[in-house]
Amino acid sequence: MPELPEVEIVKQSLKSAIKYKKLSKVIVKNRNLRFKIPINFERSLKNKVILNISRISKYIIIEFKSNLYCVFHLGMSGTIHLVKKKFDKITNLSFYQYKQVPKKHNHLKFVFPNFNIIYNDPRRFGFFKLFRNYKDLNLYFKKIGPEPFSKEFNSNYLFKKIQNKKKNIKNILLDQSIIAGLGNIYVNEILFYSKINPKKEGSQISKNEIKKIIKYSNIVLKLAIEYGGSSIRDFQNTEGVNGSFQKEFKIYGRKGETCSRNNCKGIITKFFQTNRSTFMCEICQK
150 in a domain, yes or no? no
Specify if 68 maps to a domain: yes
| Average per-residue pLDDT for the chain | 88
Lowest mean pLDDT among 6-20, 131-145, 167-181: 6-20
pLDDT at 48: 97
State whether 106 and 57 are in the same domain: yes
What is the dihedral sign for C-alpha 84, 20, 228, 76? negative
Domain finish residue from 77, 111, 140: 140
Q: Is the pTM of this model over 0.75?
A: yes
Q: d(Cα 240, Cα 249) in Å, to the nearest integer? A: 22
**CATH number, position 161:** 1.10.8.50
Q: Which of 279, 103, 129 is nearest to 190 (CA)?
A: 279
Tens digits of residue pLDDT in 65-94:
989 999 999 998 888 888 886 655 667 776
Choosing from 106, 140, 174, the residue where a domain stops is 140
Whether the CB-CB separation of 167 and 202 falls below 8 Å is answered with yes
Q: Tell whether 239 is covered by a domain.
A: no
CA 162 centroid distance within chain = 23
Q: Kindly state the percentage of the chain with pLDDT values over 90.
A: 71
Asked if 88 and 170 sit in the same domain, the reply is no
Domain that holds residue 274: 155-230+247-281
In a domain, 242, yes or no: no
Residues 6+ apart with CB under 8 A from 82: 13, 17, 90, 91, 92, 93, 115, 116, 117, 238
CATH number for the domain spanning 102: value is 3.20.190.10
Query: Quick one: 96 and 24 in the same domain?
Result: yes
* Same domain for 164 and 111: no
Distance CA 278, CA 93 (A): 28
Q: Hey, which residues are catalytic here?
A: 2-3, 58, 276
**Shared-domain flag, residues 132 and 214:** no
